[in-house]
Each structure stands twice: as C-alpha cells, then as structure tokens.
Chain A
Amino acid sequence: MLASTVRVTRDLDLAEECVQDAYVDALDAWTREGVPDRPGAWLTTAARHNALDALRRARTLRSKLHLLVEPEAAEMDTDTNSEPAGTDAPAYDDRLRLIFLCCHPALAVEAQVALTLRLVCGVSTPDVAKAFLVAEPTMAARITRAKKKIVTAHIPFRMPTAAELPDRLAAALAAIYLLFTTGHTAPSGAELGRTDLAVRALELARLLRDLMPDEREVTGLLALVMVNHARRSGRTAPDGRLVLLADQDRTSWDREAIAEADRLVVDAMRGGRPGRYALQAAIAALYAYAPSYAETDWPQIVRLYDALLAVWPSPVVALNRAVAVGMVEGPTAALRAVERLAETPRLAGYRYLPAIRADLLRRLNRREEAISAYREAQRLADNEAERRFLQERIVELG
C-alpha cells in the first residue's frame, strides 16, 4: 500500500502520511458503513486519493517537491524488465521497486536494513530501534537521513535495468540476510535470537521469491533463511543456554519447513553454476536432513564448501570448511587448517575462530591449550548465551 502510494507522491514522508490518514479515514467510514469487501483495496485507494489531494494542495510548492522518478525517461532502457505502462501497474511491482529503493547501494547498509523494515515491512521506528538495540532518536535520525538522501540525490523509484540488476539484487539479498542473521544470533544482548527480525527476514525473502521466481539466488536465499529458521527451537535450552548443533534435539526442528527449503535448494542449484546463497542453503539443508550430527554427509559438505569458496572466497567460509574437514579427516587436519587461517588479518577478533580451535584442541586432549583458546573466545564473545556456553566448557576441562 505504501509502495503504490509512493508512486503517486514520489515522496516517502508524504506517502507515509497519506497511508496513516487512510487508516484514520477507514476507522471513521467503516464504523459508519461497515467493513468493505476488499479492505486492503479500499485502504490503498483511500491512501492514493489522499496523496493526490495532498499533491493538489502542494501544487504551488511543486518546485520544492522533488520527483523520485521520471518514469518515461527512466524506464526507456529497462528492456528486459519492461513494465506495463501507466500508473496502474500491479502492486507487486511497486513493492519490488520499494525493496530496491531501500536497498540501494548508495545508502549505508545499516540504513538499508532499517529502511526496509520501516517501509517494506511497516515496522514502527521504535520497534526498528529496539531490534537493532539503538536509542529511538538515533534510529529515527538514521531513517530520516536515508530518506533525505533518497530525495536530495534523486535515488530513483524504479526497477534496476538489466545491466544494474546483478549488483542491485546482491545488495538486496545481503540486506535481507543481514536482517536474518541479526535476528538469528543477536551479536549482543542477553537473548540469543530476536525472532521478530528473523521472521521479518523470512517474509521478505518469501516476498522477493514471489516477485522474482526466476532469480536462482533469490530462491537460494529463501531456502537458506528457511532452513536455518526451521532449526531455531533447538538452538537454545529452556534456560537460554546455547546448544551446539551436535547436541541439538532434532525432533524439535520444523520438518515441514526443512522439506520445503530442500525443494527450493534443488531449484536454486539447477541450471548453471550455483551462487553463494544456493550453496550455503545446500550446506544448511544437508545439516538439517541428517538424522544425527555424526551421520551428516561430511564429505559432501566439504565438497559444497569447496564450491562455495570458489564463488565466495571468504575466510569465514574457509573456517567452516575446516570444521567439516575435521569430521572427515580428523581434528589434526582441521587444526592445521584453522591455524593457517588464524594468520588471516580479516579473521583477527572473529570470535568463532578461537572457539573452533579450542574445540579441536579439546578433542586432541591438549587441555591447557584448549582452555586458553576458550578463554580467548570468551573475551571476544559479546552475547551472554555464548559466553555461558564457553564458561561451561572451561569448567569441564578444568
């Protein structure tokens, strides 16, 4: 609804106001005349009317009301994304445009994520602030600054062209995934997860998949988010303690969601070299499908990590691969790989590196070294659940 109102106003603040006014109008009209057959359509129409009225009122201020788009000129070169002419294009196109607007690479990543929550998901600013553990005025300022840049720099409200699409889609996928990981493992604070954010990310990934069913990485992202979310209930004990994948109660996982994610993985892997999200989802699905940790298809996981490293050469991926290598070739081989990675400057301060090293040392009965590595991991952890888990390991060894 906001998206289709933006099309009329081309001004985000004005559009938000018009949508809010439409709700107020609805309250009044629906108590008088009853709820209409299609309340959503009623609201959208009302919001658009409000927008048109506002624009009429603002006509004298027109020069000040910057246009977000110049549809004719801007859409001339969108050859492979040709859109229906006129302003009555289907609402889903508007939502897609809104996602690409919010996730524009000219905006800072934290602003992209906040704007997407605010404008695409309709989460209130105080709730967005809470989700990211910042003060409400800070978040309000961040959102206002981003909106101001959109208007002042004329960031367009339109579909990226075919040439722009790969980069722009990557930015949108990264923003949604960041939203999910923020919700899935809150990097700070007392609770391990902030489920709300993860649920929002899942909704966004699903929406994007509905809108762009042929983009394999979109399918891959949805599968990845879905399979990780399906395992959420096993990740913490009732007292909030962190439970390792090896010790999780697999019967608590959402089997239906895992099966759906697995079907999506097959789609995402098909037809050419799979992308980063498809491969990550394939790995996560293999973990989820295994009857137990020990029975996981570790050789296949190592192969998938190799493919993932080829498309996304990240030291974090290499570290995860080392864990899988440990399951195939034993802890000595894995420790060698981890210690090589420890020299990578990009992994300095990465809390999972000493934690993984500690676990391998523990399995090799190198107690003293294991304890000191757990201590290092503990110093780097800023999440209470993780810190408690590491403390227990130290106590066990000591």
Chain B
Amino acid sequence: MPQYAVFMYEQETPGGAADIPPDVMAAHMALPDRIAEQGGRVSAGLAFEPTSTSTSIRADVVTDGPFIESKEAIAGIFLLEARDLDHALALAKLTPIVAGGVEVRPLFDFQVVEPS
C-alpha cells in the first residue's frame, strides 16, 4: 500500500503535552486501532516537545526556536499506509486535533524507519 506522512499541526499551549485534554490524549492512543479497523495501518509515530525547546541551524547559525515560526506548529507525525489518497484522507480525518489541522503527504520510496 502507498505510504503517507501525516503532519499534525496544533496551536501551542504554555504547558505543552500536559495541556492536552485527557479525552484527546485517549483518542491519540486509540488512533492506530481505529485506523486498522478501517483497513489502514500506522507504521510509526512521533510526538514532539513544544517548539520552545527546539533549536534551528541555518547556514551554521544556531538559533533558539523552530525553523519556521507559525501560529500552528507540528506537534507530531505518523506514518500511514492506505490504499490511495482518498483512503488516506479519510483515515487522517480521524486524527484528534484541538486547534489546527493535518497535512497528508506521500512518501518518496526511501525508508529510514526500521521495521519494528
């Protein structure tokens, strides 16, 4: 099946992950199973600390903060296997989001994630 990266964009809150409401957290934990029920597969997932802990390097200059400043920041990414884009979009819509959205981007056929 084709593979996609799903970027989760969220507005950042002062407390970071601690501010995520419990029901949203529970929905995140349940997401891989819900996706599997609908014929897809989550093959990897990453959740990030707030961008205030991030460090960027541009042309050897090290700066505090994210590479691109924006209202919504990438809070996490997961790898999704789906039949096609329509299927992938339907599955990505299941992602719990508080204030933001998701971006679905196809993966180039190049793997650096080791199968677990």
A residues touching B (Cβ–Cβ < 8 Å)? 69-70, 73-74, 104, 106, 152-156, 158, 160-161, 164
Contacts and interface: CB of A to CB of B under 8 A. Distances in A.
Contacts of A104: 85
B53 to A, nearest CB: 32
A70 B83 contact: yes
Nearest to B109: A63
Contacts of B89: 106
Contacts of B2: 154
Most chain A CB neighbours (cut-off 10 Å) among B2, B83, B87, B88: B83
A74 B106 contact: no
Interface in B38-88: 39, 83-88
Interface of B: 2, 4, 39, 83-90, 106
A74 B88 CA distance: 12
Contacts of A154: 2, 83-85, 88, 106
Given A154-B2, A155-B86, A156-B87, 7 more contacts: A73-B83, A74-B83, A106-B85, A154-B85, A154-B88, A156-B83, A161-B86
B35 to A, nearest CB: 15
Q: Which of A154, A158, A161, A164 has its CB near the most chain B CB atoms (within 10 A)?
A: A154
Q: 7 tightest A-B contacts by CB?
A: A156-B84, A154-B2, A154-B84, A153-B106, A155-B85, A153-B85, A73-B83
Contacts of B85: 104, 106, 153-156
Contacts of A158: 84
27 contacts: A69-B84, A70-B83, A70-B84, A73-B83, A74-B83, A74-B87, A106-B85, A106-B89, A152-B106, A153-B4, A153-B85, A154-B2, A154-B84, A154-B88, A154-B106, A155-B84, A155-B85, A155-B86, A156-B83, A156-B84, A156-B85, A156-B86, A156-B87, A160-B86, A161-B86, A164-B86, A164-B90
Contacts of A73: 39, 83
A164 B39 CA distance: 17
Contacts of B106: 152-154
A156 B84 CA distance: 6
Nearest to B107: A152
B76 to A, nearest CB: 21
A152 B3 CA distance: 10
- Name the residue among B84, B85, B89, B90 with the largest chain A CB count within 10 angstroms: B84
Nearest to A163: B90
A74 B90 CA distance: 13
A67 to B, nearest CB: 9
A145 to B, nearest CB: 14
Contacts of B84: 69-70, 74, 154-156, 158
A96 to B, nearest CB: 15
B111 to A, nearest CB: 14
A152 B4 CA distance: 10
A155 B83 CA distance: 10
A162 B53 CA distance: 45
A87 to B, nearest CB: 18
Contacts of A69: 84
A70 B82 CA distance: 11
